C-alpha cells in the first residue's frame, strides 16, 4: 500500500495582511462616522440641501464608475443602505 505524504501548508501571510487591512479600514470608518456625527448637527438647513445635492452627484459618479466591475452583492447592498441613511439624515436636517 502506497503512503501519500502531504506537504505542510506554508503560513499564509496574506491572511495576516488582509486582517490588518480590514482593521485599518474599520478604524478609518469609525473615525468618519464620528466626524459625521459631530458635523451634521452643526450644519444649517441650506448647507444640508447643498451637501445633499453634491453627495447625490458623488454617489451617481461612483455607481457609474463601478457598474462594469464585479462586486459582491453585500457591497452594493451596503452602499445603497448607507447612501440612504446619509440622504435621510441630510433631508431631516435640511427640513428643520
Cell reading at 49: 440641501
Angstrom distance (rounded) from CA 91 to CA 2: 71
Q: Within 13 A of 19's CA, how many CA atoms are on the CB side? A: 5
Interval 76-89: pLDDT, tens: 999 999 999 999 99
Q: Which of 32-36, 65-69, 84-88 has the lowest mean pLDDT?
A: 65-69
Interval 9-22: pLDDT, tens: 666 678 888 889 99
How confident is the model at residue 79, as a pLDDT? 95
Amino acid at each position: 500500500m502506497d503512503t501519500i505524504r502531504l506537504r505542510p501548508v506554508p503560513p499564509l501571510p496574506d491572511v495576516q495582511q488582509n486582517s490588518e487591512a480590514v482593521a485599518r479600514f474599520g478604524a478609518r470608518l469609525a473615525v468618519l462616522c464620528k466626524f459625521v456625527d459631530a458635523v451634521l448637527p452643526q450644519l444649517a438647513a441650506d448647507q444640508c440641501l447643498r451637501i445633499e445635492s453634491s453627495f447625490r452627484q458623488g454617489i451617481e459618479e461612483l455607481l457609474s464608475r463601478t457598474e462594469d466591475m464585479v462586486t459582491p452583492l453585500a457591497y452594493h447592498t451596503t452602499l445603497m443602505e448607507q447612501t440612504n441613511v446619509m440622504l435621510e439624515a441630510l433631508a431631516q436636517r435640511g427640513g428643520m
